[in-house]
Chains A and B, each alone.
Chain A
């Protein structure tokens, strides 16, 4: 990067687009139990948004916007998934037995809550963590 080009258009578009992508990825994630999507593809989409930020700005900027340690995020995701599975053991059920029920929540109305979503959050975090670790590591290395 000897003479830094002026990426005004790219950066402006990125600021708008990345939110849309993240929203789309969250949609993919939450809709996953009923329509195509899920933790894996949701995670990939979110990291695509982050990569877009990375391309438009640079690694330092991304680190200041999102001061995450992505390796920790991977670990946290794995922990969530394992704990979700282990939680079933407390209720004398085999490992990874999921439970669900319907609740009346304020604002949302009748909603189904499912422990599989917790498990999927683990997957989601791991996928973001992994993708970002790889891209950051390779990008930072000389």
Chain B
């Protein structure tokens, strides 16, 4: 257990202590204690920066279940470190923000911070694990803690709905991913991602490769809210705002991005990977931004905006995979896409975090998040307005903020798509820049909407639940730090390029830089007069125009009926599966014994008859049959006649007597087949049981004593005939098979030794008490239990009723 492992597990350890701190120090906001954890971890992870930027990696193994190849291998490379810094850095800011956001008197803070720390540890585990099973374990931890955080205000119905929805969707994805991991293990025999990357060439040829890829992608897409699994994210906005800022903008939703980036070297050689990742990404980008415009809730807009930005990063990662198809590093334009993805990942975390915190402040200080009620806050909340405008403009991709740079690089990447002569991209690829451009226009519109509708326009303060005023300074610190980063990264992007982006890109595309070569990352403002510049100008112009005429065309959103939205499909699917399984259960769990007997007998017949036919076991061998004697025939006729008459008897009394006839005939058969002990027992037992039947008959209630013939049911008749037939066929077949494969009977031993060993003459009795006395011992136990059962049923019946 190294220091690195302890760092990953530190949040879990802290989570154990938090409730005690909460109970012990009621006067201090618990968040202050919690704040130390991410801060310490952030400082700790900063120390790895020189290591990874010089191209080295750190790997520590802690043996967990070595016999199964499952070891907790912590592995720090550029990509892992980038995410670890995001998690701990934004984690610190979010904890700080939450101290001012959540009141210590009203909220169950111990729950909140325990969940948050659990989540933080789980995320660190996801991004720093090399072993896929450990990664999966932490992955599910993030799902569970996210579920708990979304349902934090569990007395609200919407919270519970959102939590359940996110749980169902992300766990579905998580389980698919586990399937993918298992398939990869079957193919390669290892759970280590680094070893998998080394084998990617061999894996390509494996028939399971495709399934593994799709299953892993399902995990990534559900977690990262890609179309059509994005539906959980807007509903997760019922969580407290610090949670939305942390989980649903900066960290958890990027776990899917991380997974795609991490597995790129394994899968990227396949063309399908490029199409799936880039295709779903670009469509999610469009769909998210298109839907964000119709939202009226600040956090709703931000949720759809997150969906769309995640789609953007995803599409860039997909496209970046194309880089692996070219061997030369020089003029490899697709690597730009990967660089853009990493860069935008950082940018998105900064501006989206600050925007969520801004939304939280507005909510906290005005009491509403509805942009139809808000307006004119600019004079009252100038600092919040500044935060909002920087964040939104960066999101819209306007200069001089960092969003502009990554947006430019994104457009560069998308334009280069259809120059690619791989996988039909040169024809259908034209969709990529078109969708990207349209989505960017919508992004522009909602970003502007977010600021202008909230802070500008007519003030309508009388409609607000609270009197608005500027937020306390403590609440503003975190978003201010984030927007400062937005500006700093905007002006000096190369601060990041060698320290963070280069090692991350090298981790995503490990095979690309040939020996001695290095990935060269240089981000600059001025591209010259290139197409992407004109595209940006076009975005701004069109966006402004469309924003101005928003009221005229917003009606199109209402054209899509609720039934056909993905939410509608999800809701109906859930209802349908519930009512469907209920109906299915209703259908076959009838509560009638006779239906269950029909199932049992039908399966009995179906399985036995099909086995008999499939294994071709039915044979008839009459060579060793005994001669049929006349009294056996007569007795058989009596027996059959008795049995059949039972079926048609009108009175129950007749049936009982006929049952006696059958029983005594069987006793006679025992006589004929020379089994005197059996005959004696059968006679006495039959007498006793007929007497008991008569007793039952005598005590039947008057009402149900109506004498009528058994009703004829075709199904019952068919099944009973089939059961009889099956058993007969099996009897014949086993007898005949016994003739064909001759087995020596064990009874010769008994015949030989009945006197020698057991000093007896009656072989049946000697077997019962001596050779196999153990059976007899338990048969008398059965008798004893039956007697006690009857005694208890009869005598304690009244006692139980009295107690009630």
Q: Which residues on A are within 8 Å of B, measured CB to CB?
A: 28, 32-41, 44-45, 48, 71, 74-75, 77-78, 81-82, 85, 95-96, 98, 100, 112, 114, 116, 119-120, 122-123, 126-127, 129-131, 133-134, 137-138, 141
Contact = CB atoms under 8 A, between A and B. Distances in A.
A28 B684 CA distance: 14
Interface residues of B, number: 35
Contact of B787 (A95, A122, A134): A134
Given A77-B780, A85-B774, 10 more contacts: A37-B762, A38-B768, A44-B681, A44-B688, A48-B684, A74-B783, A74-B787, A96-B774, A98-B758, A119-B776
A141 B758 contact: no
B780 A33 contact: no
A138 B794 contact: yes
Given A32-B765, A123-B776, A38 B677 contact: yes
A119 B790 contact: no
B634 interface: no
Nearest to A131: B688
Interface in B730-763: 758-762
Contact of A130 (B681, B761, B774, B784): B784
Given A96-B777, A100-B759, A138-B790, A78 B784 contact: yes
A100 B770 CA distance: 11
Contacts of B676: 36
Contact of A39 (B769, B774, B784, B788): B769
B773 interface: yes
Interface of B: 676-677, 680-681, 684-685, 688, 692, 695, 758-762, 764-766, 768-770, 773-774, 776-777, 780-781, 783-784, 786-788, 790-791, 794-795
B787 A133 contact: yes
B758 to A, nearest CB: 7
Contact of B780 (A36, A112, A126, A137): A126
The 3 A-B residue pairs with the shortest CB-CB distance, nearest first, are A34-B761, A36-B676, A130-B787
A79 B132 CA distance: 60
Contact of A81 (B680, B777, B787, B791): B777
B interface majority secondary structure: helix
Contacts of A134: 692, 786-787, 790-791
Contacts of B764: 36, 38
Nearest to B678: A36
Nearest to A101: B759
A109 to B, nearest CB: 17
A126 to B, nearest CB: 4
B684 A41 contact: yes
Contacts of B677: 36-38, 41
Nearest to A44: B684
17 contacts: A28-B680, A34-B762, A41-B684, A45-B684, A48-B684, A71-B787, A74-B788, A75-B784, A77-B780, A78-B780, A85-B773, A98-B758, A98-B769, A100-B758, A112-B759, A133-B787, A141-B795
Contacts of B695: 138
A44 B683 CA distance: 10
B762 A129 contact: no
Contact of B760 (A34, A78, A131, A133): A34
Contacts of A122: 780
A53 B123 CA distance: 84
Contacts of A96: 773-774, 777
A126 B786 CA distance: 11
A38 B780 contact: no
B682 to A, nearest CB: 10
B685 A44 contact: yes
B649 to A, nearest CB: 25
B769 A119 contact: yes
Contacts of B791: 71, 133-134, 137
